[in-house]
Amino acid sequence: MAASSNRAIYGAIIANTAIAISKFIAAIFTGSSTMFSEGIHSLVDSGNGFLLLIGVRRSKKPADDAHPFGYGKEVFFWSFVVALLIFALGGGFAIHEGIKNLQHPKPLTNVGWNYLVLILAMIFEGAALRVALQEFNKSRGSKPILRALIDSKDSATVAVVIEDTAALIGLVIAFSAVFLGQITGWIYFDGIGSVLIGVLLVIVALFFAIECKALLIGEGLLPEDVDKIINILKEENRVINYRRPLSLYFGPSQVLVNLDVNFADDLTPDDIEKTIDSLESRIKAALSVVNRIYIEAEALRPRGRIKAEDDFSKREVKP
């Protein structure tokens, strides 16, 4: 998954850097606040790409004594930082520039520069979005795109998809503002375009921040994935009772699952150990993101109840 994220992020960085330079050049020649806001938007997107790369790289650090479950949540943290930057630097600055332009509007000059840069930007941004969607679709399955974005835990790739989609919509807004301003002569379209781009970025940032927050504070498997584990427990005839599985994401593809099960009374310790091995294997086969499983087992012996501290009663499976 990390390799997929990296490919999408590198594509976005290259595209956004080239686009930002082009937009700033066009803004200088035309005096367009919409184009300047779009330049800031692309510049922020480029910086965000580097932050996402930091998150992906740091999330691969091995576990240590201070972080026994590893550093997988680093990518969630840096994705949240990206959301804040989109909100503050992207959306906030664009709205500020738009309001300032509405208060002191100026006619555009050399609008041909705007059209040229916007068309080129749409091509570059579309190519970057295509790469991001190719990587994202590998794990999306048959889900609708919005549902898949909400359910996905690969926040780095999701960030690129959301940013590139917002960028394309922003380009359409900028193109429309320039075109309407040119054909109508109404000089306020430029400022309105900048404000609309800012509002778009604020909405995108809030959506992404909410998704990252859920992962940071501790999000578990989706209900349909939990049901897969429950079905495995139901199918095991040596399991007579169990509690609802508990799970927690420690990274885009790092999930802890905790099971509390009761085994049939006539099982020996060796039988229970074999059953646990079977459960672990079947859960891993059904859900590849699960890399740690803890099972607390109970059964009755002739002399009393098997205790949790027995060697076979708690087990961990690692990749």
**DSSP output for 239-250:** EEEEPPPEEEEE
Sign of the torsion angle spanned by Cα atoms 276, 279, 282, 285: negative
Say whether pLDDT at 313 is over 90.
no
Say whether pLDDT at 77 is over 80.
yes
pLDDT category, 204, cuts 50, 70, 90? confident
Per-residue pLDDT, 31: 79
Domains parsed from the chain with CATH numbers: 2-217 (1.20.1510.10), 223-305 (3.30.70.1350)
Residues 27-38, mean pLDDT to the nearest whole number: 80
The answer to whether the beta carbons of residues 272 and 312 sit under 8 Å apart is yes
Per-residue pLDDT, 299: 52
Residues 9-14, mean pLDDT to the nearest whole number: 85
Q: What is d(CA 292, CA 294) in angstroms, rounded to the nearest whole number?
A: 7
pTM: 0.77
Per-residue pLDDT, 163: 84
Q: 33-59 and 74-85 are packed helices; what angle lies between their axes, rounded to 10 degrees?
A: 170
Residues 54-70, mean pLDDT to the nearest whole number: 89
Q: How confident is the prediction for the chain on average, in pLDDT?
A: 84
**pLDDT tens figures, 216-264:** 988 999 999 999 999 999 999 899 989 999 999 998 889 999 999 998 8
